Structure 1
């Protein structure tokens, strides 16, 4: 649980972000302070083709309380162009916390306390908003209210768009404000190609169409993107808080959400009031969330979503979908380290259907198009995930046979040669790369500029390749000769004699003998993070020493050493500037997992007792990550951070492999 007291008094705290997912690729998100700072902040963001086809339907609300005495107390705030926050401060905001879901507490008027909650129902594109009058501090106000002399009315205006979640919305005559009202449900369909928005409430709806113009999104401005948006409000909901909880349930009715029948299609006896439905969803959600062992396990579940009839892993929120590389890396912590073997099996088997020429897809396009096969390492990470899963002894003989069959197909495809010049070379190592294509995890590209091409034989790809050969060798001995050749070549060719650590790439641009000696974190995989270390402990000590001295930060490993002329210490500015810094010094939290594993190996080889090294690792590596859970993406770990102190979190605030590796570190350390 994250609790923030008086978030409006701290800019940093108020900008921390919360996340509620629907298990289908859709979600709701915002900030602790209530201001929407991203185009992705919304109350109803649905996946029309789970987990893709995401659209923003209800961006937010304008909410306030009116008293019979004429007082008006805002519960929401927005920033407008050019940079005007209204109201300047949500003065009554006392606290915010994420347990059991985003909850704000306000003190208004002469001491009234109002609680506002948001939660998303799992398995449906449905967001529940609820407000309640909790208590009153001043006895005279209480007396007047009991006597009927004081009334508090909650007013809520939904702010709608109906757009792709990457886009922005602007005032236009095509927006359809028409409201279709059936009992306690109001339906709108802003555009004919977008889902219907259904708003069920226990309040009174008044149709008052209007535009709220020129919202300003500061996070988009900082990212060098368009940041001005107009939203439509079709009407106003009014609630008498003296009558009990005020409830507003927002639902998306899409082809993929056919189970949410239109209100007029329901038989009268099947109609459930908004208040009763909210209580039912509340009870179901509390039971579901209580089923997880702890805070991190519950957060981990938010990345596991539906894809067709199966499951997949979202790489991160708010702008990623499911990526092959990220899925297999994240799975090791999110699912396998957490004992969720059945879900891991389902996902692995699902991905076996996508194999092509020995490769698995790197990603699935948002528009549902053909999978994209442009990663040299995604298939190799699949092999590692299969190994970890099979180690659990959960697999049936049929599942084991199928997964081993696909691993063999991957290794054979890579050995023989496949797309993008990927093939086992004469030295047994894996070459890869063609100009203009980014194949490794360092995959930033702007236009035709591949920032870190790494064509040739990247070090972590060799570590993965040798691991894949060793894993396949466990059931198919004919890989023994190639594994021996690759392992021998790695030991002979990758050691940098000047440092004792490893080169980042050899045979650069397929030129024999040409090396890239940049100090990057990729070498850590040769000794940590994978099932098999591919270097001896002497070399491991040199690698860990170099990485620790030049790349380690409290939030992860830098992607390039600060002494390098190409180093960029801050991830900020335009798209070109940010992508140019993405793997040129930016910190990646997920890399802390393999580093800790390598560090423990070196400690053990040096004779340090396991109990001492484990205790030191918990204090040194876990403490900063635990503190980070209360900072950027609440209860989650960010995608990246600045290489330069104070290592400001950047990128996606909720990242699957970052959280997954934290869970894997916990398991390594027995936490």
Structure 2
């Protein structure tokens, strides 16, 4: 990812492009390429200090000033209510993402570079400043701005901050949090200062502008000449003292080598710049576990650990990128939780707490296990893993009272409630359900059919003939009921949900595409092609499948207006990229020789990846022009599906290793 002067020469261009760095264990650095924070979640050091608490923004940003001769040049950029000051983006010549985010500032004949990285698992951010060229000595002043607040909301009132200098570190206390900013060179000047009413204009879930006051303890001051460099280390109180320049140089080298190893190990060829960017973005979503088991975050800035997002994204994030051991670790973590809860897979894990809401979580786990099964060289060597997955599948054969779900005589799963938390279209506004669904849900039963066929496949591997025949019989019965129940003969598509106690809802929604895209489909080819055509004609947009057909009287094509209207739009017309991934797979099932069209569906993401979170893919988009992105700026299911489709359907369509 490279951005030139033309990409960042205005505030709107630069503030609309964000970079993300993480340490692989949950801490991250997130801001715009011009250094102007536009979201509450932006910050140079964002860290979870309490395993049961939310992430905290410790260091919001750094204000850099260069003194060259008798002139002062402020490299930072901030947005206030009535002005943008300073406007340091004017000096930004280029941004490069590889091997780490770096910004090159050019002031006449002086070239000054700023680079940012996070050492693996250390929970600290390191900022490197280099004077690459200059005909004369310059003086650099760097002023840290502190926040010390929850990532989800600004402080209601100013904190009582205090600071003290200790050698090359300045220690800041406020709001019960201690943050340290260390430097390898220079002198700290204690000069506290408030920056009032900084505006975060990208907060979509708030009505009106979101503002915050930031506090600075003082600034670092040092003289530099051509070739000089200095490191700043931003960390919390649980991190050791600032290391020497030589030690930090080793950490920098390790960070660069780690990025190169990650990209080079991915079994995708050719490794285009777009694929490299996608792979690097995927690394921020996978938490290596810090001594425990790995997990996948739902996205940034939400950073929740959700089963559905985990197992929709895992085939792309981990299996398609060749990280099979990490995929197995993720599966084992969730299987252990399921085993402790009568083989019911939780919906969300928050510290030690688990929640049970979604009925499809265990079925998505089976799907992701199926993708790993297909990818590993010796699946018989992981027989214990597959047997645990079978326990999850088998649990659906008995009523799951906590989810109000049961298996009917027709072999399908029935949801005896209209509680929206039971499925993924779970929006609620002022007690009103955005999308009412109950009874037989089309995607749940498509996943159920697929899980039964996978169970049949596993039993064939293990030689368990009686169980294989049992699963085959259950799948046959489910498949027949599925077609009888969901097929809308007149429209040539599948009902989204069916409750025998009421008339079927004829609304065209995208969940039916899973009945075509999953490895095992309950539909015959004529039905499958018809479903594909309806989804293409009624739901397809540039960046995803809409959640509702545009002709519907409740369709909302843009997420705009009041907050309640935005929430409703999420499932009444917004387009979701993860659904587009399944659409492309379904299309290529019926059109295996039209990979060129598959690339047509995929190519728009090349442009999107140069805006918003660079290299990432947003959670959802407007369903009509101008197709603006919304939600998480980097969403695991969106990114995972793009990687999966690239590896399975476009780069390696015949399954050749």
Q: TM-score w.r.t. structure 2 length?
A: 0.91
- Match for residue 143 of structure 2 among 150, 157, 174: 157
Sort the Cα spacing of 1:50 and 1:305 in 2 relative to 1 into closer, same or farther, 3 A. Answer: farther
Aligned mate of 2:345, from 360, 367, 382:
360
Shift of 1:514: 2.7
2:596 corresponds, among 615, 618, 621, to 615
* Partner Cα separation in structure 2 for residue 180 and residue 576 of structure 1: 48
Match of 1:523 among 507, 512, 519: 512
Determine the structure 1 residue equivalent to 2:281: 299
Distance 2:377 2:180 in 1: 42
The residue aligned with 2:426 is 443
Question: 1:397, CA displacement in angstroms?
Answer: 5.8
After the TM superposition, which residues 135-154 of structure 1 pair with which residues of structure 2 at under 5 Å, given as runs? 135-136=133-134, 142=135, 145=136, 151-154=137-140
Partner of residue 128 from structure 1, selected from 126, 129, 133: 126
Q: Which residues of 2 match residues 267-278 of structure 1 at below 5 A?
A: 272-273=243-244, 275-278=245-248
Listed one character per residue, the Cα deviations across residues 543-578 of structure 1 (whole Å, up to 9, x for unaligned) are: 111111111112111111111111101113343222
Matches within 5 A, 1:490-501: 490-501=482-493
User: Does structure 2 retain, via aligned residues, the 8 Å contact 1:2–1:635?
Assistant: no
Q: Which residue of 1 aligns with 2:202?
A: 219
Could you tell me which runs of 5 or more consecutive residues in structure 2 were left unpaired when the two chains were aligned: 265-275, 460-466, 653-657
CA distance in 2 between partners of 1:542 and 1:39 (Å) = 45
Q: Which residue number corresponds to residue 371 of structure 1?
A: 354
Shift of 1:399: 4.1
Residues 171-205 of structure 1, C-alpha deviations (whole Å, 9 max, x = no match): 53x52312141x3222223233x354343341210
| TM-score of the aligned structures, taking structure 1 as reference length | 0.89
Maintained 8 Å contact 2:75/2:86:
no
CA distance in 1, matches of 2:577, 2:95: 26
Deviation, 1:19, is 0.6
Q: Does 1:284 align with 2:254?
A: yes
What residue is the counterpart of 2:37 in the other structure? 36
Identify if the C-alpha distance between structure 1 residues 512 and 484 changes in structure 2 by more than 3 Å, giving closer, same or farther: farther
Determine which of 528, 548, 552 is the counterpart of 1:564: 552
SS at structure 1 position matched to 2:581: helix
Q: Show the counterpart of 1:540.
A: 528
User: Following superposition of structure 1 onto structure 2, how do residues 60-99 of structure 1 map, counting pairs within 5 Å?
Assistant: 60-69=61-70, 71-80=71-80, 82-88=81-87, 90-99=89-98
User: RMSD value over aligned CA atoms?
Assistant: 2.2
Judge conservation of contact 1:83–1:216 (CA < 8 Å) in 2: no
2:155 and 2:514 mapped to 1: Cα distance?
Answer: 44
Aligned to 2:405: 422
**1:248 paired residue number:** 232
Shifted more, 595-604 versus 334-343: the winner is 595-604
Q: Separation in 2 of the partners of 1:378 and 1:234?
A: 47
Is the 2:10–2:90 contact (alpha carbons within 8 Å) kept by the matching residues of 1?
no
CA–CA separation in structure 2 for the residues paired with 1:662 and 1:402: 27
* Bigger shift: residues 660-669 or 356-365: 356-365
Instruction: Name the residue aligned to 1:488.
Output: 480
Find the counterpart in structure 2 of residue 3 from structure 1.
Answer: 3
Instruction: Indicate the residue corresponding to 1:266 in structure 2.
Output: none
Answer yes or no: is the 8 Å Cα contact 2:21–2:29 preserved in 1: yes
Q: Is the 8 A contact 2:75 2:88 kept in 1?
A: no
Tell me the secondary structure at the aligned position of residue 454 of structure 1: coil
Q: Is 14-23 or 49-58 further displaced after alignment?
A: 49-58
Q: Deviations over 1:145-194 (max 9, x none)?
A: 2xxxxx4111111111211111212553x52312141x3222223233x3
Q: What's the counterpart of residue 450 of structure 2?
A: 467
2:54 & 2:11 partners in 1: Cα distance? 36
Partner of 1:516, secondary structure, is coil
- Partner in structure 2 of residue 607 of structure 1: none
Are the aligned partners of 2:165 and 2:188 in contact in 1 as well (CA < 8 Å)? no
1:338 CA displacement: 1.3
Q: Are residue 600 (structure 1) and residue 588 (structure 2) matched? A: yes
Cα distance between partner residues in 1 of 2:38 and 2:118: 20
SS at match of 1:590: helix
> Residues 112, 410 of structure 1: CA spacing in aligned structure 2 closer, same or farther, 3 A cutoff?
same
The count of residues paired between Structure 1 and Structure 2 equals 625
For 1:304 and 1:51, how far apart are their aligned partners in 2?
Answer: 19
Partner deviation per Cα, 1:498-527 (whole Å, 9 max, x = no partner): 2111111111xxx43531221111110001
- Alpha carbons of 1:52 and 1:660: their partners in 2 closer, same or farther (altered >3 Å)? farther
